[in-house]
Amino acid sequence: MIYLDYSATTPVSYDVLESYNKATRDYMGNANSIHSLGVKSKVLLNSATKQICELFNIQEEELIYTSGATESNNMALKGIALAYKNRGNHIIVSKLEHPSIYSICSFLETQGFEISYVNNDNEGLIDFDDLKSLIRPETILVSICAVNSEVGIRQPLKTIRQIIKKENPNTIFHSDMTQAIGKVAVNMHDVDMASMSAHKIFGPKGIGFLYKNNKVNIVPLVHGTGKFNDLRSGTPALPLIVALSKACRIALTDLEKREALVKRLNDRICGELEKIDGIVLNKTKYSIPHILNISFNNIRPETFIHALEDDEVYVSTNTACSSGDLSTSVMAIFNDKKRAVSTIRISLSYVTTNEEITKFLNLFKARYNELNSLMKGNE
C-alpha cells in the first residue's frame, strides 16, 4: 500500500497508541472525582495539559479540549459571535478556508451576522489592501487558515495580525492551524485563537483543541457542570488527551529536518509530473511541500483515484470534508473552472519514503497513459 492522503488523516503512531492504551488500562477514574482513582487520573490529565501548553508556549487556562478542528472552529466563530454581538455583527473569512468555516458562516448569516470574504492574490496570499478595506468598527472577528488544505498555501499570520490590530484593535483573529501543526512552525501568539485536530498529526480521531487567548471571551456551545472546563463541560476524555499530548510532542520534533525531507519528495514528484502533457500543477511559491494539487485535462479525477486505488495507491480529490466536485481553493487562486473541477491532491508526510514515491510515479504514469488513451479513443 502507498498512502498519500496524509492531509485527510494520518495513521495513529505506535507510541501514541501505546500512550492511549496505557491511560485506558491504568487510569479508569473520572478526573472530576475526588477519590484516589479520580485524583490519579487528574494528575495525569494535568501533566498532559502542561506538556501541550509548554510545547505551544501558552497558558493552561488558554487550552480547551474539543473533539477536533471542526468543533474548535464552531466554538471559535459561534462563541465569538455570541459573546461580542453587542459590539458588532461583522465577520471576515478568506476564500481558502476549510468547509466547516463556510458552514458556520452560513449559519451565522441566518442569525443576523454579516460575512465578508477577503480576496487573495494570484499566489494565494491574502490581499492585504482588501483586508484593510473590509475591516470596520463593527468587525468582531477575522478567521484565516494558517495553511490551506487543498493547495497548501501558507499565510503570513503575523503580518495579517498586525494589519487587523492596526485597523481595529478590538477585532479578534482566529486561525484554523490544522494543516500547519506538525508540518511547519507555528506561533500561537500570532493569533488570538487557533484550532487543531490530533488525527492530522498521527494521533487519534475525536480529539483536538482550541487555543483561546485569556483576553478573549466566548460563549460556550456545550453547557453542564463546568467542573473540568466551564467553556466545554463534560468528563475529560483522558486517554484521548494523553494521546494528543504525545502526538503533539512527536509532531513538533525535528520540524525543519522533516520539512526538508518532504520538500525533496515533492520536488521529485513535480519534476516528473511537469513532463506529462495534460497535467497542470496547482501550486505557488507559498505552497508547503506536504500538499501537492494537480489538475487533468481529459480525465475525471474520481476515475483516476479509483484506478490508483486498484493498485493500492491512495490519494484524494479536494479536501476530504468537501461535498462538492469543484475545488474552491483552486478556483479562488487560479480563476479557472475547468482546472478547479479536475483536481486531485497528493499529500506527503515525513514518513513517506523514496521507494514509495518511485513506485507511485511508475503506477501514476501507467494509469494516466491507460486512461488518457481510452479517453482519446472515445473522442
Instruction: Tell me the per-residue pLDDT of 50-71, one tens digit each, with 9 for 90 and over.
Output: 999 999 999 999 999 999 999 9
Which tens digits make up the pLDDT trace of 115-163?
999 999 999 999 999 999 999 999 999 999 999 999 999 999 999 999 9
Separation of alpha carbons 192 and 213, rounded Å = 5
CB 125 within 8 A of CB 287: no
Cβ count near 116 (within 10 Å): 17
The cell for 99 is: 468547509
Q: Which of 60, 52, 62, 58 is nearest to 251 (CA)?
A: 52
Residue range 219-236: mean pLDDT, rounded: 77
The pLDDT, as a whole number, for residue 246 is: 98
Separation of alpha carbons 66 and 83, rounded Å = 19
Separation of alpha carbons 207 and 228, rounded Å = 16
Q: Of the residues 53, 105, 145, 321, which is catalytic?
A: 321
Q: Which of 337, 313, 311 is nearest to 326 (CA)?
A: 337
The pLDDT, as a whole number, for residue 232 is: 81
Separation of alpha carbons 175 and 145, rounded Å = 5
Residue range 3-17: mean pLDDT, rounded: 98
Percent of the chain residues topping a pLDDT of 90: 88
Separation of alpha carbons 128 and 304, rounded Å = 38
CB 247 within 8 A of CB 201: yes
Phi and psi dihedrals of 88, rounded to 5? 180, 170
The pLDDT, as a whole number, for residue 373 is: 81
pLDDT-derived band at 268 (thresholds 50, 70, 90) equals very high
What mean pLDDT is reported for the chain? 94
Residue that has been written with the C-alpha cell 498532559 in this structure: 48
Please give the residue that has the higher pLDDT: either 17 or 319. 17
Q: Is 105 a catalytic residue?
A: no
The pLDDT, as a whole number, for residue 323 is: 47
The pLDDT, as a whole number, for residue 222 is: 83
In the chain, what are the domain boundaries? 2-9+254-377, 14-251
pLDDT-derived band at 235 (thresholds 50, 70, 90) equals confident
pLDDT at 377 over 70: no
The pLDDT, as a whole number, for residue 319 is: 57
Phi and psi dihedrals of 222, rounded to 5? -115, 125
The pLDDT, as a whole number, for residue 320 is: 52
CB 174 within 8 A of CB 218: no
The pLDDT, as a whole number, for residue 262 is: 98
Which tens digits make up the pLDDT trace of 246-256?
999 999 999 99
The CATH number of 2-9+254-377 is which of 3.40.50.300, 3.30.499.10, 3.90.1150.10, 3.50.50.60?
A: 3.90.1150.10
The pLDDT, as a whole number, for residue 311 is: 97
Measure the CA dihedral 73/201/214/93, to 10°: -30
Q: Return the minimum-mean-pLDDT range out of 7-11, 170-174, 234-238, 331-335.
A: 234-238
The CATH architecture to which 14-251 belongs is 3-Layer(aba) Sandwich (3.40)
The pLDDT, as a whole number, for residue 234 is: 81
Residue range 333-345: mean pLDDT, rounded: 94
pLDDT-derived band at 221 (thresholds 50, 70, 90) equals confident
174 secondary structure, DSSP code = E
Separation of alpha carbons 100 and 103, rounded Å = 5
pLDDT at 301 over 70: yes
The pLDDT, as a whole number, for residue 227 is: 57
Please give the residue that has the higher pLDDT: either 236 or 89. 89
Straight-line distance from the first to the last Cα atom of the chain, in angstroms, rounded to the nearest whole number: 34
| Sign of the CA dihedral with 306 first, then 308, 314, and 320 last | negative
